Amino acid sequence: MRLMGILMLAALAVSAQQKGEDRKTLPLSLNKAVEIATSPDGATRLRLANELVTQADARRLQSRAALLPNVDGSYTFRSFTNNLQTFGIQFPQVPGFAFSLPSLVGPLNVNDARATATQSLFDLAAIRRYQAAKAQLSAVRADQSAALAQTKGIIAKSYLNAVRADAALETAKANVALAERVLKQARSQKDAGTGTGIEITRSQVTLANEKQRQIMAEEDRNTARLQLLRALNVQLDAELELTDALKYQPAEIPDAPKALAAARELRPELKAQDQRQLAAKLNYDSLRSERLPSASAFGDYGILGRVNELTIPTRTVGVSVRVPIWDGGRRDARRAEGASQLRQETIRTRDTAQQVELEIRLALETLKSSESQVVVALEALNQSEKELAQAERRFEAGVASGLEVTEAQARVARSRENNIAAVFRQKAARVDLGVAVGNIDMVLQ
């Protein structure tokens, strides 16, 4: 049950219903979407990461158990017979008697209730294994932080894509309205005797094309919303009302060295890989330490006696030292495997650092490019709107043809679409840079 996300959306639905809305529209901001996705029952990626942390912590506890006391209790009931001659006990023939004492003893019924305890005194290999498990737990927790940042980035981009699709649909509707206005103007000029039929036909073709783009924009909008709902891990039949608009805000573009330095401190992937390399080193050290002697203490205490007779307390106390001598080469093979795993993690550490640097540099280039694209798109939109206004005045004055108006209209429509695409790309680039540096929360503020 996706409890947190469902409760949030349900509360929003109740609020919308109380306001008397016909449909159960759910107001959703970017911050609210991130909050839903990062709740305990939110996005699938984050829930799986939480389970991995639980597993790693369980493995840490298992490794620690080898260093803690181990206490067992037991009860044994035995009914047995025995041949004393097997112990070298043989009774001689008694003079004057035709028989000898029997060698068979029993049956005897014996109770034995006992508690047994063992404690490791020195086992360097077990200590290293426990330390490696702790390092692996730290790595998985860092992976959890990475999954959280990635989830926030995915939700942010999904939300922005849905907002972009809404803006694209509104633009498509505005383009249809503009085409209808131009067609009406062409018909008016034709009725006044200053226009031609080809101008009406041309305007009708433009209107049909804009209506087709509107249909495609509606499909894109519905698809983007479904993808957002899926990313939030909530019901796909919910009706959303996105409260954040697609507005351009200039972004501060940091220098690459500054961004790389921040990433080394903030990126959880780097921390996770460092801990994995440490865990591999500790595991290798534990395998090397298996050649060393290990010591443990043991003891037991219990009562022992025949059934229905007096039982006597008995005990055993001792120290055991284990010295590995030869195991058929198994330890050598395991050490070779551990050394290979350590080399693999060293390679991955270097590769992860290079990947982080690549992501930062790509995000910076994309952000720089998108900032320039937004400036150019805004200028193009402004100029195209001026061109359309001038073309319409010229057409109404009879000094220009309808073709000039139609071409200006087409440039306005494309400029609107280019402006939306550029603003979306700039905002998505900001999110990518935030994820790459490790400060996605600052981007979402």
Q: Is 121 left (phi over 0), alpha (psi -120 to 50) or beta?
A: alpha
Residues 397-418: what's their mean pLDDT?
Answer: 82
**Vertex 415, ends 413 and 418: CA angle to 5°?**
115
For residue 17, what pLDDT band results from cuts at 50, 70 and 90?
Answer: very low
Return the percentage of the chain with pLDDT > 70, whole number. Answer: 91
**Three-state SS at 302:** strand
pLDDT above 80: residue 395: no
Q: What is the mean pLDDT of residues 96-106?
A: 70
Neighbours of 288 (CB within 10 A): 17
Q: Report the pLDDT value the prediction gives residue 96, as an integer from 0 to 100.
A: 66
Name every residue whose Cβ is closer than 8 Å to that of residue 347 and which is 6 or more positions away in sequence. none
* Confidence (pLDDT) at 441: 86
Tens digits of residue pLDDT in 27-46: 888 889 888 888 887 888 88
C-alpha closest to that of 251 among 13, 416, 126, 431: 431
| Residue-range domain boundaries for the chain | 3-78+106-444
49-98 pLDDT, tens per residue?
A: 999 999 999 999 999 999 999 999 999 999 988 887 787 777 676 666 65
* Burial tier of 116 (Cβ tally within 10 Å: 0-12, 13-18, 19+): middle
Report the length, in residues, of the chain: 445
Give the per-residue SS3 of 317-383: EEEEEECCCCCCCHHHHHHHHHHHHHHHHHHHHHHHHHHHHHHHHHHHHHHHHHHHHHHHHHHHHHH
Range picked from 22-36, 245-259, 386-400 for highest mean pLDDT: 245-259
* Structural Rg of the chain based on CA atoms: 39
DSSP label of 266? H
Q: Which CATH entry fits the domain spanning 3-78+106-444: 1.10.3470.10, 1.20.1600.10, 2.60.40.10, 3.90.1720.10?
A: 1.20.1600.10
123-178 pLDDT per residue, tens: 999 999 999 999 999 999 999 999 999 999 999 999 999 999 999 999 999 889 88
Q: What is the mean pLDDT of the chain?
A: 86
**Helix (H, G, I), strand (E, B), or coil: what is residue 188?**
helix
How many Cβ atoms sit within 10 Å of the Cβ of residue 307? 12
pLDDT band at 278 (very low <50, low <70, confident <90, very high): very high
Q: How many CA atoms lie within 13 A of 245 on its CB side?
A: 4
Strands of the 70-83 sheet, one edge to the other: 70-83, 104-122, 294-306, 312-322
Structure tokens at 139: 């790595």
DSSP state letters, 103-132 = SEEEEEEEEEEEEEEEEEEE-HHHHHHHHH
CA nearest neighbour of 337 among 275, 399, 287? 287
Instruction: Give the integer Cα–Cα distance in Å for 124 and 108.
Output: 46
Residue 268: predicted pLDDT: 93
Out of 4-13, 114-123, 197-206, pick the least confident.
Answer: 4-13
Is the pTM for the entire model greater than 0.85?
Answer: no
Q: What mean pLDDT do residues 364-373 have?
A: 93
Query: Which conformational region is residue 268 in: left (phi greater than 0), alpha (psi within -120 to 50 degrees), or beta?
Result: alpha
| Token pair recorded at residue 380 | 């193009």
Q: Which of the 8 DSSP states describes residue 85? A: G
Q: Are 377 and 320 in contact (CB under 8 A)?
A: no
Residues 6+ apart with CB under 8 A from 434: 153, 440, 441, 442, 443, 444
Amino acid at 208: A
Q: Rounded distance, CA 176 to CA 179, Å?
A: 5
Q: How far is Cα 124 from Cα 136, in angstroms, rounded to an integer?
A: 18
Neighbours of 389 (CB within 10 A): 12
Pairwise pLDDT comparison (256 vs 406), residue with the higher score: 256
Instruction: Report which residue type is found at 63.
Output: S
Q: Which of 382, 384, 380, 383 is nearest to 372 (CA)?
A: 380
The whole-number pLDDT of residue 3 equals 45
Cα–Cα distance, 291 to 322 (Å, whole number): 10
Q: Quote the distance between the C-alpha of residue 396 and its chain's center.
A: 60
CA atoms of 34 and 5, how far apart (whole Å): 10
Q: What is the pLDDT of residues 287-331, one digit of tens each?
A: 999 899 999 999 999 998 888 878 889 999 999 999 999 888 888
Residue-level pLDDT at 98: 57
